[in-house]
Chains A and B, each alone.
Chain A
Amino acid sequence: MRRILPLLFLVGTALMGSCSLTLFNYSNIVSNHYALVYGVTIYDATSSAGVYPNLNYPGSDASAVAAMLAAEGYAVKSKWIDSNGEEWLNGQDKGPLSGDLTNYTYAPTKANIAADLSAMGNVVGSNDVFVFYFSGHGMQDTGQSPPVEYFVPEGAVNSGGGGSESLSISDSEFGAMLAPISSNRKVVILDTCNSGGFIGNSLEADSIPAVSLGSSGGISLQALAQALSNFLSFPASTPGLSPYGGAMVLSAAGRDESCYEASAPYFHGVMTYYLLQAPQSGDLNHDGHVTVAEAFSLVKAGIESDWNSNSTVQANGWTFEPRISGGPIDFVLW
């Protein structure tokens, strides 16, 4: 007669070794580090900083991120517009915006960003690390299914204060712009609203919904079911930048979510404020390196424990959660 004998399996000790072989060949060591860094504070030169559509701190974000990456060994090219409407090229002040798009010689416009990425395609080798950073506005076209997300360069806000889709950069356009860069070690960091739409996970299910509404994630039956469904349907065609063919993406906010900048003590986009602490605090496992996932964890922890826990932030519904793309690989930033 069969007996059913429930067993309690007590945890023992195990010495384990595992091996994973990826779709890409990462066998060679990193040769060089390159970065393109952009920020747009002033979208409308007739208004001052902080008056919509203008922001306050993307210029400061880009300046500080460029300095951080340069200090960590990156060859950085940068363009940003500061709070006085001045154009900055590679850390040098090039004077005020003229208000005429054709004269935005040094500004981070769509055309200039596309040209910079194209030029970078001739520089970045297959074993190099490439980082792209943008701080400014982001937007979403919900009239399309699935919605299309954009980040908004200089010159992409029309006279009515709305974003121009044709002068902004969508996730699919950006993927095409990144394609000439041959390295698989591409990292995209976006401190913009709706930037989670640039993440093209096709296998992983994010337990934080597209608009977090205060949720910081965790195990949910919905996420587990979605993960199983994704496994069965992989490879599915998804919008955004798949980590398998595009880049590892760190976004300030979810696909349907806004993110914020703030004055003291931040004086930056909130996500960038914590990202800037990565050189000092980002090596979470103390192995001497900071990876994209470690930087993300630092940013997420800071936003959750500080910004999102603020009563004023909660009362105004300004909470948000950063996101990161999936895939089996993480990259060493420095």
Chain B
Amino acid sequence: MLIPLAPWMRVGGSFGLYETLPSDTTGGFLYRGYGTGALGIFLEVAGSIGTWKRVGTFEAGGQIGANADWAAYQYTNLFFFYPELMTEAFIGMRLAALKALQIRLALPFRFQFRRDLDYSFLAAISLGANYSFGGSP
């Protein structure tokens, strides 16, 4: 869900499902894999960086936000909770033929405040698609 605050700024809510694979077994141990369900809020700023008539409109922007994560270790029924802060930079392309659809390439970074680890973070390259009901945002 997105709520526009200005033509270049909006706040939103999100729900995501993630799977973190276990690490390798070097050293005779591994970090356990887990599946996560995350509820989040975010602030997003974005601006147009160009238009290619036949293809669509390009925009660049960034997000900051916070998530509440519930996770369960692989193979188990053991649930645990952690909050996380997230930020990401992205470029997006809104298709001329389907303006409600935006293809987005992003670099998310998430810092997880886990009680059982000193540091836990995630950096990624993600490719996603946003579809807006009710028109382009």
A-side interface residues toward B, CB under 8 Å?
2-23, 26-30, 127, 129, 185, 201, 203-208, 216-219, 223-224, 226-228, 230-231, 234-235, 244, 284-285, 287, 289, 291, 293-294, 296-297, 300, 324, 326-332
**Chain B residues with CB below 8 A from A10, complex form:** 128-131
**Chain A residues with CB below 8 A from B3, complex form:** 2-5
Contact with A along B5-31 (1 / 0, CB 8 A): 100000010101000101111111111
Q: Contact: B79 with A330, CB < 8 Å? A: no
Number of interface residues of B (CB under 8 A): 56
Question: Restricting to B96-137, which residues have a CB under 8 Å from any CB of A?
Answer: 104, 114-135, 137
**Chain A residues with CB below 8 A from B80, complex form:** 203-205, 227, 230-231, 326
**Count the A-B residue pairs with Cβ separation under 8 angstroms: how many?**
200
**How far, in whole Å, are A8 and B127 apart by their CA atoms in the complex?**
15
The B interface is mostly helix, strand or loop, or mixed, namely: strand
**How far, in whole Å, are A13 and B125 apart by their CA atoms in the complex?**
9
Which one, B27, B120, B134, contacts A30 given CB within 8 A? B27
Q: Contact: A204 with B73, CB < 8 Å? A: yes
Q: Contact: A329 with B32, CB < 8 Å? A: yes
**How far, in whole Å, are A294 and B30 apart by their CA atoms in the complex?**
12
**How far, in whole Å, are A21 and B116 apart by their CA atoms in the complex?**
10
Closest to A31 in B: B28
Q: How far is the CB of A45 from chain B (nearest CB, A)?
A: 40
Q: How far is the CB of A297 from chain B (nearest CB, A)?
A: 4
Q: How far is the CB of A2 from chain B (nearest CB, A)?
A: 6
Q: Contact: B124 with A7, CB < 8 Å? A: no
